[in-house]
Amino acid sequence: MGQTKGKRKGKGHQRNEQTRRANKRAREETSELIDPRLRKALSHELRVQILTVANQREVSPSEFSEELDVPLSNVSYHFRKLLEYDCIELTREVPVRGSHEHRYVGTRRGLISDGDWKQLGKGTQAGVRIAGFQDLINRCTQAVEGETFDAREDAAFYWVPMSLDEIGWKKMQAAIRRVIGEVEEFEVESTQRVAEGESQTFPATFGVLGFESPTKPNRNRRRHTKAGKTKPKRRAKTPKK
């Protein structure tokens, strides 16, 4: 009896080991499906921000540098890298003060599909998220400083914390995707009306968020020094009596 149980355990262990090896091979094979150039492009936060803008409109390094207040030499370097990775392409050269301004737009290679996103590591995904958030914050800041944020009385700014169950979460996500689809159609319709000479477009920003929040936000996170060591928060000194 004991030998029989031992044989069964051995076969089960062997099957599990074969399954584990098969899964490992599958992960190694699928990890190469995403274009290595896109992976490199997304490995730096500033390049992600440049791609975010270039996939929306034509932009030059000097224009991007001025808008985000980043040194032009740094911006120009990452534009060259994105061009090398085939994530942006040169559209035209504009004469500017005795020189030429190079203007670029994003290519389809610079767009992240759902399949590509799943293959990116957690660190790269986090960098892309942060860069996207920063770009949205920059657009909001520019609108407030340029006094266009409240230029229209029906402008909207809304977010609210809430508690949902699984059914409520799925309904919220479905509503978000439905609204996004409708807004995309509105932009296409606007472009068609402009082409027919019926109206003119103006810059606008649309954003909608829906994500799970931490149960208990970490308010006591320690700050990190450049050397990577934790640095405790300074405590206020109590006055001596």
Given this model, what pLDDT does residue 31 score? Answer: 42
Given this model, what pLDDT does residue 120 score? Answer: 60
Which residue, chain included where needed, has tokens 């003119």?
Answer: 200
Burial class (CB in 10 A: 0-12, 13-18, 19+), 60: buried
For residue 11 the two structure tokens come to 């076969």
Given this model, what pLDDT does residue 35 score? Answer: 58
Given this model, what pLDDT does residue 33 score? Answer: 40
Quickly count helices (H) and strands (E) in the chain.
8, 4
**CA-to-CA distance for 49 and 55, rounded, in angstroms?**
10
* Buried residues in 73-90 as b, exposed as e (16+ CB within 10 A): eebbebbebbeebebbee
Sign of the dihedral defined by the CA atoms of residues 138, 46, 98, 92, in that order: negative
pTM above 0.85, yes or no: no
Per-10-residue mean pLDDT, the chain, length 241:
47 61 49 58 80 84 88 93 88 84 78 56 64 73 88 88 94 93 90 91 88 73 42 45 43
